[in-house]
Amino acid sequence: MSSPGKSASRAPAEARLGELYDGRNVLITGGMGFIGSNLAVRLARLGAQVTIADAMIQDYGGNLFNIQPVRRKVAVNYCDIRDASAMDWLVREKDFVFHLAGQVCHITSLTDPFPDIDMNIKGTAVVMEAIRRHAPRARVVYTGTRGQYGPSVTLPVNEEAPTNPKGIYEISNLTAEKIIKVYNDTHDVRSVLLRITNVYGPRAQMKHSRFGVANWFVRLAIDSETIKVFGDGSILRDFLYVDDCVDAMLVAAISEEATGEIFNVGVDQPTTFLELAKTIIDVAGSGRWEFAPFSPERAAQEPGDFYSDISKIRARLGWEPRTGLREGVRRTVEYYRKNKSFYWE
């Protein structure tokens, strides 16, 4: 088993991906946000005809600068996935639909559950119904969250583990996943369901700490501020660099054997939050850390140790992470130091 930072023996080759995506029509919902924009940039560089749909909801991370390297190569439609007319139009003639749009803050869902229900559940149903009616041969990739599992029963967590999410956000993601599975099984809308772990890297929102803990730690270090490590810092997580996440999505979309399947997308070598903070401070050469008690909101949804079993996606699709934590942090720090004015308030 190879470790992050070493090339996987069956890792996706750029030339192979270029052959498969060159000239293909692709829709990315939520494509101006963190993962979506990284995916859009990569697909455009592979020669795909990329359309982005994004409502640009405040604080969700939509940022025109995210697609600056390929701005002239992609089409952007500012619309909401709950708009059936817009989705009916945008899905037409698409070969691939990457569905990333939704309410993305699990802390917000504690006080207001309705955006989760409206965006993640209703919005997903609108997208899938549009595909069923107007693009039934498109392949769909959905990005859910490791939070759908809830507290882990055994570690690492595989795809057969029980799903007992602790919040409305995670429940809405699980429901969206099940809606898409129904369209796969009943309506033959070929779909792949990914449960993604803690992603970090360039193009994430950096204005607040409500989601993306690793990136928020990076901001604090760059600003020479104090990173607060909750509890005793020993909680385990797997932190996935965004380029590796995009690789998994691209490979899943083109793999026939992935149809109808659920795959974990993460790192099977976990890191404690204390190790994460120390690594970021060391790489950045600035910042400091201290222990802090959990806030009531975070304590309510803290699932404890979690890291993914990725043996299924490794065996079936040949994917595994290739970027070690230190290298991923280095690239992230470098990107935000260079482009700070586009991400800080």
Sequence-distant (≥ 6) Cβ neighbours of residue 73 within 8 angstroms: 44, 50
Residues 260, 261, 266, 270, CA torsion sign: positive
Reduced to 3 states, what is the DSSP secondary structure of residue 119?
helix
Reduced to 3 states, what is the DSSP secondary structure of residue 283?
helix
Q: 10 Å Cβ neighbour count for 155?
A: 16
Q: How far is CA 192 from the centre of its chain?
A: 14
CA distance 291 to 300: 19
- CA dihedral defined by 262, 39, 48, 141, rounded to 10 degrees? 20
CA distance 193 to 253: 10
Does the active-site annotation cover 169? yes
Catalytic residue among 169, 241, 307, 343: 169
Catalytic residues: 169
